[in-house]
Structure 1
Amino acid sequence: MNWIVSLILSLCFFGLGIYKKIQNERFIRQGKKYRGIIIKKRREIAYKHSRYFATVRFDADGVSYEKEVRYIPLIGHENAEDMMLIYPPGQPDKVMSESFLKWERTMVHMFAFGVVFMVYAVYMLVSGKSI
């Protein structure tokens, strides 16, 4: 694999990460924000990381909902009793936690792969050889 292919791959991964970030920011901007009360938390232990879920009660459009949402516990907020939710009006099935949207692992992984391929491309360009 030469440096041009690696550079193209890094740009593709950066592009995917930026696309996901813009999509999430648009969702945050267009949705209504509600503070929900956390009723129950649970953690699923997956292969290499944990997934965090919370059942949250919130009031939107004059109706009280209970919804299980995925979230990412932020440092210093692990024991919080409430959570900021993003709610697209009229679509209670698409409620998301703000922390999950801002720090979604898919987006972070795309940026990380982009950095790896960019470093690899620079290494090959400078040294004139591949790993």
Structure 2
Amino acid sequence: MSLKEFGLFGSIELNKKTMAAIAAMGFEEPSPVQSQTIPLVMEGHDVIGQAQTGTGKTAAFGIPIVERVTDQRQIQALVLTPTRELAIQVSEELAKIGKFRKMKVLPIYGGQAIDRQIRALQFGVQVIVG
């Protein structure tokens, strides 16, 4: 990739498509949890983050997922959440971050028709949130 394909989110270098998506979401500078987490996760480190609600934890872990996912329609990331509602919320946020990369995200949870979820998996997704 050429340097024209990258932009800066604070001091974090990201693909311009990811930058466009996070700018559309209203992010201008990374929050503390994002600036501390994103570089480590992108380097492949295991990270546990704790921060208050509304500080951007989903993006802190979601941005590196979007950056690492390829165009291949196969499962490349699995995000686990404790509730159905959070699975839906996280799935929607990841889809927003990956929208210009055409990333497919699928929430899988109980209470939804299993045949619909299986069809979506067969169509091809890169990220599953359950």
TM over 0.5: no
Which of the pair has more CA radius of gyration? 1
The structure whose residues are more often strand, as a share, is 1
Query: Higher relative CO (CA 8 A, sep ≥ 6), structure 1 or 2?
Result: 1
Q: TM-score, normalised by structure 2?
A: 0.24
Q: TM-score, normalised by structure 1?
A: 0.24
